[in-house]
Each structure stands twice: as structure tokens, then as C-alpha cells.
Structure 1
Amino acid sequence: MAFEIGQRVGDYEIVGILGKGGLGQVYEASHVISQRREALKALLTQERSGEEVGERFRREIQLLGALSHPNIASLHNAFYHDGQLVMVMELVKGKTLRDKSVRTRIPVPQVLQYTCQVLSALDYAHQRGVVHRDVKPTNIMITENDQAKLLDFGIAISERSAELTAPGFMVGSVSYMSPEQIAGDKATSKSDIYAVGVMLYEILTGRLPAKGESNFEIMRSHLSERPVPPQEVDPRLPQSLSVAILKALEKDPADRFATARDFLAALEAIPQTFIDELLSSPTRTMAVPSSGSFNLGISGSPSQPRSSQVAAFPLDDVTKKLAVFIGPIASVLVRKLAPKCANLDDLYKEAAMHIPAEVDRQRFLRSKGTSRP
């Protein structure tokens, strides 16, 4: 059943249509009492969806109900309305990683930041037995606060639950699908790791690792062709990053990273030398889909750096404290912000704006009291 704008659905009023998820229509809704805006997802009509899809929708609700992570869109409620199952979720405003990578030029350290956030979300889900099975740029939303949110657990499975899809059938998106999924085997956490490797390869090089003019050719490439090393596509990529991506893309799941946390750790170990290189090469660019190249965002501040003032800032100390909340990209961010700030208070305030969670922003701001002069 489709809902209309202005229609009352339980305690919610439909105020807009956001689009379609894997299993149903998604609306923007306002709670009639609190006036909080949320995302309301309703299963497609039974005639169009079928019994299995209805069971998938219930499973998505149950899986999300067990997850609470800052990089996963959270479930708020679920109920029946006139026999129609409805899910109420956190309203995530922003752009998908696909839209952002095509329409804008994402700084490479920022790409790594988003990827690390997605891997953190997956590590959390995997530890609770949940496999997403459809990780791709369109299922990752980048919020207005520059935080990555993993969306659409519509075909996710629990390792402790029975598989709905019969053996030999595939679910997911072919371009990001692991070899074992293509072969009809059950997806595991290693399948999600492979999908993240595909996504990172694509955004950094401007091409997919598995090539083909048809789904059949793409599937064959996933199964039997080794991808061109990312560093060969763009020699400016550091070898350690290229090696990490290729490890995630190994055909045999046993040869990939053991966990999403291990993949995340490998990425976090890369940027310091990479960032130092970027800082010394402000005009460096890299490929991006459909647009040739993009600037890494290290081209300097519009205002001239006040060298004596910046030298007085405890930049290493600020960077170390900021990195606790946003990872290695803190090094680039602090050095970009410092020339724009009149004093250390301003630097802390500007840096805090790049921390997604309010509670973490406050913790970071309080840490200024312990900075060395």
C-alpha cells in the first residue's frame, strides 16, 4: 500500500517521499506529538512483494533492532498500520557516497575516513552475527556532518538464522558481489570485506576491479580475473594502500582480511606517510568516475598562513586528540584549519565541527585544557 503526503500513519504524518529501498517505499514522516522528522519505510504490497520478501522485511527490522552504532542508520520503531508492516528509522540527510563521488571531488584522506567508518560499522555488525550482503556506494549515506552511515539491511542475514534464498541463487549487486556469492554459496563477513574492497578501488581509481559489458562478464571477472593493482592504475597511490585493497579482493575468502577490523587497521596504518606526501604536493590529483581527476583538497587555505601564529599552536597535540575521534585524517585537517584561526580556542572549535557526535565534540573541546602551551 502506498501512502500519500499528509496521510496519518500511526503516530506519524507523511510529509514527503524519499525513494525506494531494497524492500519497500521510504517516506519522510513527522511524529505528530514530538514533531521529530524520521524515515518511515513500508513494505511494498503483498501482491508485488510475496511471502519471502515479507519475511525479509521482518528480518531487517529484527536485525536492525539489535544494532546500535554511530555509522549504521538506527531503527526507532516498527508497527502494523491497516495490516501493513511499517518501520520507523533515523532520518539520515545528506548524499549517498555514489552521488558525492560523482558530483564532487572527494579528498582521498576523506575517502579513507568514510571507508574506515563503514568498516567500523561492519565490524560491529559482524561481531553480532549480521552480514550486510549489499555494501555499495548507493547504500552509504554521507550526512551533512560528514559522517558515513550504512543503510539498507534489506537482504542482510544473521549467521545464526536460516538462509531465505535457496542455494544456487544470488542476492546483491553484481558489481560489488564476492566470488563466493556469485558461485551461490552463503555470504559471510568476508563477502562484505570484498565489497568494501571493490568500493574503495572504484572511488580511488575511477574504475571497477571486475570488468565486463554484461552481468555475465562481470561475474566471470570476479571469479577468475585478478584486478589490476590500484597503484598501476594511478602510480601516485601508496603501495601499502594498493596492497590492502588487493588483499580485500582476494578470490578465496581465506586469503582476505580475517575481519573488517583488520582491514580498518591496515587503512589506518597507511595515511601518516601518505598525508605527509600530500601536504608537500598540494596540486596532486587522482582519478574519479566520469570526471577525469579531482583535487585532494590539500591545495591550501584561501587566506595566507600566519606562520608565526601557526608555529605557536601545539599542532601535534591537537592532531593527536582529534585523531581519537576522526582517525588519521586529523593530521591534514588540523594543518588546513590552523592558518585560518586567530587563536587556539578557534582551532579547537573549528576542528570540533568535523567530529560527528555531539558528545565526542564536547569531549574534544574539554581536552584543550590539557594541551601544552
Structure 2
Amino acid sequence: MPQPVNDELLAGRYELADIIGIGGVATVHRAWDTRLHRPVAIKLFAAGDDLANTQRFDNEVRVLAGLHHPGLVTVHDTGTTTDGKPFVVLRLIDGPTLRHHMTDGPLPVDEIRSLGAAVADALSHVHDHGVVHRDVKPSNILLDHDGTPHLADFGLAHSVGSTRLTRTGLIVGTAAYLAPEQVRGADVDSPTDIYSLGLVLLECLTGHCEYTGTDIETIVSRLHRSPIIPDHLPTDLARLLTLMTAQSPRDRPTAHQCADALRTGQTTAVSAIPPAATRKRALIAAAGLFTAIGIAWAVAPGPTTPVSEPPDAAKPALVQASTPTTSTTQEAAAQLVAATSTSATTEQQPPNMAEPAPVPQQEPQQVQAEEPQPRPGVEPAPHGPGKDDKPVPPGQLKKGKP
């Protein structure tokens, strides 16, 4: 039983103990449930206009409460403190994060296969329920005393097609693990989590984060190059990571396919693009370049706007600066906007568009006049000179008929 920090019970039930985690919008406490006599973790959010909106907060929590999987940190309860701070009661995973586990260097390949398959299983369950995590990273993967991973921190998760629960002006996700579509400000779906998990597994294998630098530098770099997959990796693992971190979301496998490939070592069954999508590609290519230009214009970000715009707007995801803006930061931000504009046009252009085949020139056909057919009962005229066409003696001219 954790030692309480004060005698006051949260919601008349929970004894708050020491802080075990601090995030951008919440603090996680170790706590004790005095009613069910069990240790729990309580995520206490800061009071604010966005999170204080009870209806939106409750909708988000209900989505998370509907997820039940061994690889997830289960939601037990939710409520609001007397001073208006929302909180969520979670299952306590008393162990290190994957980030802390990687401090000693790269992990063994077999351990990464097992860990990755378990996280992919959890993501498959999440995606099957129409939820996208949007913030898969090492610090959000908790390891219990057996080393089993648990996916945590669904604070940025949302149901596909629903209103996003995100504080205005903050980036949706963590810069080092964002998918390209998140950077472009496009809608996200389950492939976004697959990309982030691919970067996490790659970091476990190499011992370093693939994209580094300032937040803006990190964001821009993924638009210019794909992750570097080491040559020494097993062939199946290298191919799987390449598919998981593909630039286009439609080229990435599902979470279920990733879990199977990590367990079996077989990637031949991983079909990045289903047949239906292939047929759709052919139709898009047949539509021509004008359709691609129209789509690119529709999704391309408009003029640069302040970071305080609502995150639902289709614009590049920028990080709220914690220090005064400098000229270098402004130049990097301008580079990000230019990169996303170019990337958006490239992304929407139909792949493998073939030039129209030249139409073969047809040679003019020679029309041969048909000989007149003789009428019945009429004897055909003899061939050669007629009866009036007698030979003209030399020196005489044939008189023409009037």
C-alpha cells in the first residue's frame, strides 16, 4: 500500500501517493483504492477550458473504457476534483518504461520481436474498435515485472471521425515519432500508429532515435528521407520495418499483420496494398494529371497561420515554442510549410502514372472501283476497242463525234 501524501481522499475514495510520471497536460500519481483495496495509478489533468469541458472529456474516457486487452493499461474510473481537475484512474503497471529499458543500448532481436508483436496485438485491438492512439513512443510503453509491454497514455487518442480532444496550439503527438500525414496536418487513421511503432522498433534495434534535432528539424527531416534500415538486420525484419515506415499510409501493413510477421519471421503474407486499393490506384491513374492537381490543391496547406488555430484545421502540425521565437525558428517553420506543400502534391499524385500510348497512324487505303456487273439479258460489250474505235491510218486524224 503506497504512503498517502495527505489525509484527503480524492473523490472520497483514492489516497494519492508519490508522483510516478509527469506529462504535458497531466501528472500521474501512485494511489490506493480504499474501496477495492488495490493499488492504482491516477492521471490528474490540469484545469483548463478544453479539458474542463465535461462532455468532451467523458466521451474520450468512455472510448478508452471500452477497450479491454491484456496489452493495454485499463481504465478503472474517472471523475473531477473539487477544484475542477478531471482525473482518470488506471491500472497500475509497476515497472519501467521502454525508454528507460533502452538506456543500456540496443535490445536483442528476439526480445524486440516478442515485444513488438505484443504491442502490435494491443494496437490491433485498439484499431478494431475504431480508435487511433496517435502517440506511440517508448515512454508510453510500460513493462511489468515479467517484461510484458503495456500500451499506455491514451490522452491523445480519438475515435476515427470524431472530434479530437486536443488542447489548442499543441502538437498532436511527439515530434520524433510523428507519421508524415500527421506532419502535413492530414487526417490520421490506424496506419499512423503503425508508422510510429516502426520507428520505436527501429530505435530498439539501433539504440538511437532515427530523427533527432529540434522539434521542427525532426518534423521536416521525415518529409525529406525515409528511415535508414541497417543492413545487418534479418531480411524479414528489415522488410517489415520498411513497410511499416512507408511514406504513404496505404502502403503500410495492419497491426495484425505486423504481429504475425514478428512472431513467425514470415513477411510474404504481408500485403501492404490490398487488391481493392490496387484497382483504385488504376482508376486514379486513369483520371489523369488534372485530378491529381485538384486533390493536391485541396489538401495543400494555405498561408501560414498562428499556432493557436484549432488543430482540426488541415495544416502542418507545429510545436508550441517554449522560448521567444527567433529568426532561425521562423526560417525553419517556413521550410516546414514549403516542404509540406511539396510533399502534399507528391503524395496525391497517382502512382505509376503511365503516359498515354501513341495512336498508330493509319495509312490511307486505296479504293478500287468495282467493275459494273452486266444486267440480265444484256450481252456485255467486248473488251478492247469498240466498233467505232477503228484503227486510224497513219497521217490521218480521227474525227471526234459532235
TM range (shorter): 0.5 to 0.7
SS at match of 1:223: helix
Are 2:114 and 2:262, in contact at CA under 8 Å, matched by a contact in 1? no
Q: 1:266–1:40: structure 2 CA closer, same or farther, 3 Å change rule? A: same
CA deviation vs aligned residue, 1:25-72 (integer Å, no higher than 9, x gap): 21111122432111112221x2xx332575664344222111000000
CA deviation vs aligned residue, 1:222-255 (integer Å, no higher than 9, x gap): 1121222222xxx2x2111011101101101111
Are 1:28 and 1:40, in contact at CA under 8 Å, matched by a contact in 2? yes
Q: 1:206–1:105: structure 2 CA closer, same or farther, 3 Å change rule? A: closer
Mapped to 1, the partners of 2:6 and 2:18 lie a distance apart of 6
Mapped to 1, the partners of 2:170 and 2:38 lie a distance apart of 41
* Structure with greater helix percent: 1
Mapped to 1, the partners of 2:261 and 2:125 lie a distance apart of 17
TM-score (norm 1): 0.64
Q: Report the Cα offset of residue 167 of structure 1.
A: 11
- When Rg is computed on C-alpha atoms for both structures, the one with the higher figure is 2
CA deviation vs aligned residue, 1:135-189 (integer Å, no higher than 9, x gap): 0000000111221000100010101412355999741011100000000112210
Q: 1:31–1:37: structure 2 CA closer, same or farther, 3 Å change rule? A: same
SS at match of 1:37: strand
Matched, 1:268 2:263: yes
Are 2:210 and 2:227, in contact at CA under 8 Å, matched by a contact in 1? yes
1:155 aligns with 156
Q: 1:230–1:64: structure 2 CA closer, same or farther, 3 Å change rule? A: same
Flag structure 1 segments of 5+ consecutive residues without an equivalent.
272-373
Q: Report the Cα offset of residue 76 of structure 1.
A: 0.8
Q: Report the Cα offset of residue 270 of structure 1.
A: 1.4
1:245 aligns with 241
Matches for 1:45-56 after TM superposition, within 5 Å: 46=47, 49-52=48-51, 54=53
Flag structure 2 segments of 5+ consecutive residues without an equivalent.
267-402
1:15 aligns with 17
CA deviation vs aligned residue, 1:52-109 (integer Å, no higher than 9, x gap): 5756643442221110000000011112331432211101110000001114764321
1:256 aligns with 252
Mapped to 2, the partners of 1:74 and 1:68 lie a distance apart of 7
Matched residue count: 261
Matched, 1:79 2:79: yes
Q: Percent identity?
A: 33
Matches for 1:1-373 after TM superposition, within 5 Å: 4-9=5-10, 10-44=12-46, 46=47, 49-52=48-51, 54=53, 57-82=57-82, 83-103=84-104, 106-164=107-165, 170-210=171-211, 212-231=212-231, 235=232, 237-257=233-253, 259-270=254-265
Q: Report the Cα offset of residue 120 of structure 1.
A: 0.5
Q: 1:86–1:215: structure 2 CA closer, same or farther, 3 Å change rule? A: closer
Mapped to 2, the partners of 1:87 and 1:140 lie a distance apart of 18
Q: What is the aligned-residue RMSD (CA, Å)?
A: 2.5
CA deviation vs aligned residue, 1:189-219 (integer Å, no higher than 9, x gap): 0000000000111110123333x43222222
Are 1:73 and 1:89, in contact at CA under 8 Å, matched by a contact in 2? yes
Q: 1:166–1:42: structure 2 CA closer, same or farther, 3 Å change rule? A: closer
Are 1:167 and 1:184, in contact at CA under 8 Å, matched by a contact in 2? no
Q: Which runs of 4+ in 1 moved over 4 A?
A: 52-57, 164-169
Q: 1:68–1:207: structure 2 CA closer, same or farther, 3 Å change rule? A: same
